[in-house]
Structure 1
Amino acid sequence: MKGRGVWAVAGWGAGVLGLLAGMPVAAAGRLPEPVATHWGAGSGGPDGSMPLWAAVAFPALVWVAVVAGVAFVARRGPVPGWGRAALASGGVLLTGAQASIVRANLDAADWRQAGPVPGWGVAVIAAVALLAGVGAAAPWRRGAGEGEPAGEGPSMEVPEGERVVWLSGAVNPWLRLLAGVLALGALGALLAGMAGLAGAAGAAAGLWVTAGGLACTALVVLGCSSVRVRVTQRGLEVAFGPLGYPVRRWAAEDVESARVEVRAPARVGGWGYRISGLGTTVMLRGGACLVVRARGRDFAVSVDDAARGAALLNSLRRQRP
Structure 2
Amino acid sequence: MTDRMKRAGGGGWGAAVWIAGAFALLAGLPWAASGRLPERVATHWSGEAPDGSMPVWAASLFPALIWVVLALGAVLMARRANSAPIPSWAGAALAFTGVSMAGTQASIVRANLDRTDWREAGSTGMGIVLTSVAALAAGALGWIAGRRGELPSPAAEAGEGTSMEIPAGERFVWLSRTANPWLHLIAAITGVAALAAALAAACGLFTGMQWAVATPFLLASVLTLMFSSVQARVTDKGLEVAFGPLGWPVRRWTPQDIESSRAESRTAAQVGGWGYRLSGLGTTVMLRAGECLVIHPHKGAEFAVSVDDAARGAALLNTLSTRRPE
| Residues 5/87 of structure 1: CA separation in 2 closer, same or farther (3 Å cut) | same
Q: 1-side partners of 2:101 and 2:38: how far apart?
A: 21
Give the drift of 1:209: 2.4
Aligned counterpart, 2:176 = 168
How many Å separate the matches in 1 of 2:263 and 2:165? 18
Distance 2:262 2:12 in 1: 37
For structure 1, the 5+ residue unaligned runs are none
* Aligned partner of residue 236 in structure 1, secondary structure: strand
Instruction: Report the Cα distance in structure 1 between the residues aligned to 2:176 and 2:64, rounded to whole angstroms.
Output: 41
- Quick one: distance in 2 between partners of 1:106 and 1:218? 30
Q: Which moved more, 1:59-68 or 1:188-197?
A: 59-68
Matches within 5 A, 1:305-320: 305-320=309-324
Among 275, 278, 298, the residue aligned to 1:275: 278
Match of 1:104 among 82, 106, 111: 111
Could you tell me which residue of structure 2 aligns to residue 300 of structure 1? Answer: 304
User: What TM-score comes out, normalization by structure 1 length?
Assistant: 0.89
> Take 2:191 and 2:13, find their aligned partners in 1: how far apart are those partners?
16
Shift of 1:275: 1.1
How many angstroms apart in 2 are the aligned matches of 1:85 and 1:260? 36
> 2:96 aligns to what?
89
Q: Does 1:266 find its partner at 2:266? A: no
Q: Which amino acid aligns with 2:117?
A: D
Which amino acid is the alignment partner of residue 14 of structure 1? A
Change in Cα spacing, 1:313 to 1:70, as seen in structure 2 (3 Å) is: same
Question: 1-side partners of 2:153 and 2:322: how far apart?
Answer: 26
Taking the aligned partners of 1:236 and 1:196, their CA distance within structure 2 comes to 49
Superposition TM-score, scaled by structure 2 size: 0.87
Superposed CA RMSD in Å reads 2.3
Which of the residues 235, 243, 257 maps onto 1:240? 243
1:184-195 to 2 correspondences below 5 Å: 184-195=192-203
Letter of the structure 2 residue corresponding to residue 275 of structure 1: L
Q: Closer, same or farther in 2 for the Cα pair 1:263/1:131, shift >3 Å?
A: same
Cα deviation 1:45-99 (Å, max 9, x = unaligned): 3222222222112211211210221132134433432122221111111111111
Look up the match of 2:189. Answer: 181
Q: Which residue of 2 aligns with 1:30?
A: 36
Number of equivalent positions: 308
Equivalent position to 1:157, from 165, 183, 192: 165
Matches within 5 A, 1:43-82: 44-76=48-80, 77=82, 78-82=85-89
Which residue is 1:211 aligned to? 214
Aligned equivalent of 1:128:
134
The question of whether the paired residues in 2 share the 8 Å contact of 1:70 and 1:79 is answered with no
In the alignment, is the contact (CA less than 8 A) between 2:11 and 2:184 conserved in 1?
no
CA distance in 1, matches of 2:250, 2:238: 13
Question: Please, which runs of 5 or more residues in structure 2 have no aligned partner?
Answer: none
**TM-aligned CA distance change 1:5 to 1:258, over 3 Å:** closer
Q: 1:282 to 1:102 in 2, by over 3 A?
A: same
The whole-number CA distance in structure 1 between the counterparts of 2:192 and 2:292 is 32
Cα distance, 1:6 vs structure 2: 5.1
User: For residue 19 of structure 1, what is the aligned residue in structure 2?
Assistant: 25
Determine the C-alpha separation between the residues in 2 that align with 1:183 and 1:129.
15
User: Cα distance 1:280–1:3, how it changes in 2: closer, same or farther (>3 A)?
Assistant: closer
Output the CA distance in 2 between the equivalents of 1:6 and 1:167. Answer: 23
Give the partner amino acid of 2:313: G
CA deviation string 1:100-128 (max 9, x = no partner): 11111111011111122261x33432222
How far apart, CA to CA, are the structure 1 residues paired with 2:26 and 2:49?
A: 23
Q: CA deviation at 1:174?
A: 1.3
Q: Percent of counterpart pairs with the same letter?
A: 56
